[in-house]
Amino acid sequence: MSKPMRDFTRGELEWAPWITPVDADAASEEQRQALKITPSNRAVGAYALVLAHDPASLAERSPLYNGIMFGTRGLPRADRELGAVATSQVNGCAYCASVHAKRFVELSKRPDVIDRLYAEGLQALLDPRHKAVCDFSVKLARDPVAMKEGDLAPLRAQGLTDLEILDLVHAVAMFSWANRLMQSLGEPVPG
Amino acid sequence: MSPTPTADVRDVMDELAGLAPDSRLGQLRRQRPDVVRHLQRSDEAIFTPRNDGGLSAAERVAAALRIAVLLRDDRLQEHYRARAIEHDGAQLAASAADPSSAPREPRWQTILGHVDRLTSDPDSARREHIDALLASGLSPQAVIALSQLVAYVNFQARVRAGLRLLGSQP
């Protein structure tokens, strides 16, 4: 880690915008349509209403997010959430890390994995599958151009198929996107 | 809205990854049709919106080129240099690729500062940076569009890297 992690608790965090959200009652038809499909989380209200200032990008981003994080088959959802947590830690996005750590625990029933990540950082010795998913996610989130063929080997050794690896790549890419929105347009606050 | 890409249409991500739609990796991508469809439409919403909110096509492409330079992604740079020429924004793009030659115009400097910060050190983003963008004349829509753009190009670089690795092994 290049810097200490800030406040990555598994407690509740809310997100407070730095730009006045669209007033839902005064939204244009295009904004209302873009707001119809949204990723479900506690901050979706303020976050989606901020993104609705540019409705065309929001209208595509929400179904893209859902396809990547909830698409059937392929990589188990818990692993996609772990990729999201690792990416959010690299970027220092406390809000996303908190929300997706909680989702990972709900899906995997493995709070110990998150406890170790928080206590010991990303170098924490996880079981081989979690370690392979985390290590790959960290490298891809941090410096995509530096990645080498050999970086896939630990995932292959855990039996991940090409589709499962692509799903993980998409999850890391999606949080390389989501973190930057959350971090530039507002900040986490205690819930 | 432009036509939805179908299984046999080469989209932007195929081009960036050097894939044919019917290749092994092209078909792998198409096992996630929702992702392929909404990724392509995101590209259109971000670079060729019907309503640009005051952030011009040339500014958008130049900002994207700057991100590709920061990430050291040669293919992505080539892609946005070509788009800059299409949008008549070659001069602005050249300045984005070489900050020392960037116009000292406050609005563009503030945009480039946001692009750099959000690409290289997103955790350093603060409220005052958003206030500065608004104060330099960007509309709230342009500020959101710019953040979406930076986030999207960072997404592209990660997917491109992942496909490169998947293409290197049978």
Q: Which residues of B touch A31 (CB under 8 A)?
A: none
Cβ pair A181:B148 closer than 8 A:
yes
The mean of the pLDDT values for chain B is: 92
CB pairs under 8 A between A and B: 173
Instruction: Tell me the pLDDT tens digit for each residue of A35-52.
Output: 874 545 444 488 999 999
Q: What is the pTM of this model?
A: 0.93
> Region B1-27: what's the mean pLDDT?
84
Beta bridge partners of A189: A14
Beta bridge partners of B145: none
pLDDT of residue A14: 86
Q: Does the pLDDT value for residue B86 go beyond 90?
A: no
∠ CA A109-A173-B40 to the nearest 5 degrees?
A: 125
For A89, which residue in chain B has the nearest alpha carbon? B123
Neighbours of B19 (CB within 10 A): 20
Whether residue A180 and residue B158 make contact (CB cut-off 8 A), yes or no, is no
**B146 φ, ψ to 5°?**
-65, -45
ipTM of the complex as predicted = 0.94
Measured CA to CA, the distance from residue A160 to residue A168 in angstroms comes to 10
Alpha carbons A93 and A91: distance in angstroms, whole number: 6
Chain A residue closest in CA terms to B118: A180
Q: What is the pLDDT of residues A63-99, one digit of tens each?
A: 999 999 999 999 999 999 999 999 999 999 989 998 9
The answer to whether the CB atoms of A66 and B127 lie below 8 A apart is no
- Mean pLDDT for chain A overall: 88
A169 touches chain B (CB under 8 A): yes
